[in-house]
Homo-oligomer: A and B are copies of this chain.
Amino acid sequence: MLPDIEPVNRESTAAIIARQLREAIMTGALPPGAQLGEAELAARFQVSRGPLREAMQRLVSEGLLRSERHRGLFVIDLEPGDVYDVYAARAAIERAAAIRIMRGDTERAVTELTEALDAMVVAAGESDQNALPEADLRFHEALVEASGSRRLVRMARTLLIETRMCLAALQRTDPGTEDRVAEHTAIIEAMKAGDERRVLELLDAHMEDAITRLAPGSSLHSGPPPSVPADGVDIAG
C-alpha cells in the first residue's frame, strides 16, 4: 500500500554524500593518496561545498581521509603496518561479535550467516573476479551485524572498507577459494552446536589465515611486523 514514502525522516545530505564517498574509496574509484578536490566533487554531487565538506569531515573522523590544512583532504595511504593493524582490529571486533552471538540469539545469527554463506558459494561460480572476495566480506559484515551491537557494527564498517583497500592495493591473487567457504561453514556449524570456544578458535584461525594469505610475512599470532620507519612507503607492489 504505502509506497515507502521517501522524504519522511530522510537522512541528512552529509550522510548521503559520506556514504557515496565511502563507496568510492572502497571500490578504488578514490585510490589511496588521492586528493578530494572540493569544487569537482561538489559539482558531481550537485551541491555546494558546504554539505560536501561536512560529509568529508565524517570520513576524517573515521580515519579514511587525512586532512592537511590549506592543502586538502586525501584518501589515507596504507603503510606496511596497516595491513596487520586492520586485521588485528577486525579479529578483535569479530571475536566480540561472535561472543555476543553465542550468548544472545544464536539461531537468528545462524540463519543470516547461512544466507551470506550461500551467496558466497554463488559468487564463487561467477566470472567476476571480485565477486567472491566481496561476498566473503559480506559474510563478516553479517557476522558483526548479527551481534546486534551498534558500536561493533560502526567500527567494523570502517575496518571492512580498509580491508577492501588492502585487498586492492595488494592485488590479492586470491587463492584458496574452497578454504574460505569451508572455514565459514565450520564456524556456522560450531555455532549450531553451541560450542562458543570452538567458534572463537575457528574465527581466530580464519583471521590468521586471511592475513597470512595477504601479507605472507605477517601473523596475528607472532605479533606486529617490525616497524619500518621508512619514509613515504606504501604497501602497493
Contacts and interface: CB of A to CB of B under 8 A. Distances in A.
A190 interface: no
Given A149-B85, A223-B100, A61 B58 contact: yes
A108 interface: no
Interface residues of A, number: 46
B92 A96 contact: yes
Nearest to A82: B150
**SS of A interface (majority):** helix
> How many identical chains are in the complex?
2
Contacts of A150: 63, 85
A182 to B, nearest CB: 26
Interface in A1-49: 9-12, 14-15, 18
Contacts of A91: 96
Interface string A80-111: 00000110110111011001101110000000
Contacts of A103: 221-224
**Which of A14, A86, A104 lies at the interface centre, i.e. has the most chain B CB atoms within 10 A of its CB?**
A14
Given A89-B149, A91-B96, A104-B223, 6 more contacts: A57-B57, A57-B58, A58-B60, A63-B150, A85-B151, A92-B96
Interface of A: 9-12, 14-15, 18, 50, 53-55, 57-63, 67, 69, 85-86, 88-89, 91-93, 95-96, 99-100, 102-104, 148-152, 154-155, 159, 221-224
